[in-house]
Amino acid sequence: MKPNVVLIMADSLAPQLMGSYGSTAGATPNLDALAQNGVIFDRAYCNSPLCTPSRASMMTGRYVSEIGAYDNVSSFSSEVPTLNHAFKRAGYQTVLIGKMHFGGYDQYHGFDQRLAMETDYSTGYNPLRPPYDWTLPSAPNPGGGAWMAASYVNDKAWDNYTHHWDRDAAIHKEAIRFFSEKNDNDPPFFCCVSYHHPHNPFYAPKEIRERFRENNFTLPSVPSDMNDRYGIMDKWLNDFHSQPEYFDRIMAADNLRWLYETYCGMVYDLDCHAGEIIKLLKAKGLDKNTIIVFTSDHGDMLGHRGMVQKRCFYEYSVRTPLIFSYPDHFPAGLRVKQTVSLLDLFPTFASLAGTSVPQELPGISLLPEAAAKSEIKRLQGIPDGRIVFAEYLGEGVHAPCFMAVAGNYKYIRVHGFEEMFFDLENDPEELENQIASHKYSGIIGELRSSVLKQFNPDAIAVQALENQRNRNYILEAHKK
């Protein structure tokens, strides 16, 4: 009997705020228990730290430059197979409950059914979304305004912003109904329940926020010369996010406390929802034959390095939680240190469903790691030092940007402009760019070659700019 797969997704959840990843905030008791009974991937990365591209790349198992899903507006072709098609070929029902932020007309991409569908993001290709143009000077987001750095300041503007809260409640209601109606002799299903929390703007009801009042958060702080440490990509993104205007207000101790209390309140709400799903699956007897996977599309900088939002390749932005739970099949409490990425979900799910992938994909099945500890040595494991890549080809930057991470080393390439290199073990806050350090020249060389072997930055720049030009042409047409 094929196992059901339930993928629970957060949006913008930095794993660093979860108990199972070391946080003491206590925002994730249910997800921590899931991790304790399952396999937790310590070093999981998304492959493009922004909603639409991250999700498109996760769903297709391919890099966004290959499928044209560059930013939050661009679409990818309905002819690119997704992991849904793998499930469907194996006889699964495929259901999406909640958010997926697909760009373009195809809002299904192989999902049989969508419940609690987005109402605000992308209910079809909207050519009137603000255009992005890498050839224009660095500037604040033309369409973002209050959603950028301003939303990281406690100025009461968001005190009554209940949209994400309400939408998540609606998504959750559909999820509970869906699982309530399932029985263990039904055909297998793949169900993705995808919430908004803890995506900014930040709002949590007072009583939820106050749960975290006494917590001794380690709040981010930056050195006084932080401005000199920013690379070109940081400066572009800070401009795009209007970070310079709000930096002092964001980084004030009182404000950071509010930010972390509220963020944890949103994470807590998400955790309660996940907990109810897990409990319901158990009550229905579905837990024995259901794999639960938990992840997020990317994280949020939350003031680390003085930055906000995502889009960049620092740990708070590009890392994601990744937990697999399949009691009696996967080992309990296995912590995988190896670098993995969301591209690995497609091959993993295809092998769980017992079907093939459509073509050679860059990801690998994580099942060897998820199998019993004693079996790992026998199975073909993930080679040490595996390099994981990410791209950023969206709004706010002005050239293709790439990341390669292997072990504790991270290489960033802003094509045609700059390279950066960080030793995450000695410098977890990523404050010391070691690109010129002789000590690391060998590793830097290897990571640089790996990026240039994996991607063709010049060709990607041409494609991305052409895509922007075409969309701007259409936008102008619609304005007449």
Strand ranges in 141-299 using DSSP code E only, listed in sequence order: 189-194, 290-296
| Exposure letters 390-425 (e unless 16+ CB within 10 A, then b) | bbbbbbbbbbbbbbbbbbebbbbbbbeebbbbbbbe
Q: How far is the CB of 64 from Ca ion (least distance, A)?
A: 14
Residue 51 binding Ca ion, by CB under 5 A:
yes
Give the pair of three-digit tokens for residue 7.
Answer: 């993928």
Report the distance separating Cα 454 and Cα 335, nearest Å.
28
Residue type, 129: R
Cα 108 → chain centroid: 19
Q: Which is nearer to Ca ion, 297 or 419 (CB)?
A: 297
Give the pair of three-digit tokens for residue 11.
Answer: 């949006």
Q: How far is the CB of 51 from Ca ion (least distance, A)?
A: 3
Report the distance separating Cα 450 and Cα 236, nearest Å.
25
Candidate segments 6-14, 29-37, 178-186, 421-429, binder of Ca ion by CB under 5 A: 6-14
Q: Which is nearer to Ca ion, 297 or 369 (CB)?
A: 297
Tokens 């050195």 appear where?
A: 223
Asked if residue 259 lies in contact with residue 152, where contact means CB atoms within 8 angstroms, the answer is yes
Q: How far is the CB of 308 from Ca ion (least distance, A)?
A: 14
Give the pair of three-digit tokens for residue 259.
Answer: 């930010």
Residues 276-305 close enough to bind Ca ion by CB under 5 A? 297
Q: How far is the CB of 297 from Ca ion (least distance, A)?
A: 4
Q: Which is nearer to Ca ion, 297 or 391 (CB)?
A: 297
Candidate segments 50-58, 170-178, 259-267, 442-450, binder of Ca ion by CB under 5 A: 50-58
Q: Which is nearer to Ca ion, 86 or 343 (CB)?
A: 343
Q: Which is nearer to Ca ion, 298 or 413 (CB)?
A: 298
Q: Which is nearer to Ca ion, 287 or 297 (CB)?
A: 297
Residue 308 neighbours by CB under 8 Å, 6+ apart? 148, 149, 152, 200, 241, 243, 246, 250, 300, 301, 302
Residues 380-419 close enough to bind Ca ion by CB under 5 A? none
Q: Which is nearer to Ca ion, 71 or 419 (CB)?
A: 71
Report the distance separating Cα 356 and Cα 354, nearest Å.
7
Q: What are the Cα distances from residue 155, in Å, to 149, 264, 308?
A: 12, 18, 16
| Exposure letters 205-217 (e unless 16+ CB within 10 A, then b) | eeebbebbeeeeb
Q: How far is the CB of 154 from Ca ion (least distance, A)?
A: 22
Comparing every residue's Cβ against Ca ion, the nearest one is: 51
Give the pair of three-digit tokens for residue 462.
Answer: 């041409």
Q: Which is nearer to Ca ion, 393 or 451 (CB)?
A: 393
Report the distance separating Cα 122 and Cα 57, nearest Å.
17
Report the distance separating Cα 227 and Cα 384, nearest Å.
36
Q: How far is the CB of 55 from Ca ion (least distance, A)?
A: 8
Q: How far is the CB of 54 from Ca ion (least distance, A)?
A: 7
Residues 358-377 close enough to bind Ca ion by CB under 5 A? none
Q: How far is the CB of 79 from Ca ion (least distance, A)?
A: 25
Residue 342 binding Ca ion, by CB under 5 A:
no
Q: Which is nearer to Ca ion, 196 or 413 (CB)?
A: 196
Report the distance separating Cα 40 and Cα 21, nearest Å.
9
Residue 270 binding Ca ion, by CB under 5 A:
no
Q: By rule CB under 5 A, what count of residues binds Ca ion?
A: 3
Q: How far is the CB of 430 from Ca ion (least distance, A)?
A: 21
Q: How far is the CB of 357 from Ca ion (least distance, A)?
A: 25
Q: How far is the CB of 73 from Ca ion (least distance, A)?
A: 14
Asked if residue 141 lies in contact with residue 245, where contact means CB atoms within 8 angstroms, the answer is no
Q: Which is nearer to Ca ion, 121 or 440 (CB)?
A: 121
Q: Which is nearer to Ca ion, 72 or 325 (CB)?
A: 72
Asked if residue 18 lies in contact with residue 296, where contact means CB atoms within 8 angstroms, the answer is no
Q: How far is the CB of 206 from Ca ion (least distance, A)?
A: 26
Provide the sign of the torsion angle of the four alpha carbons 337, 341, 343, 349, taken in this order: positive
Q: What are the Cα distances from residue 211, in Å, to 166, 196, 220, 243, 369?
A: 20, 21, 20, 29, 36
Q: Which is nearer to Ca ion, 61 or 394 (CB)?
A: 394
Please identify which residue in 5, 6, 8, 11 interacts with Ca ion, judged by CB under 5 A: 11
Binding site for Ca ion (CB under 5 A): 11, 51, 297
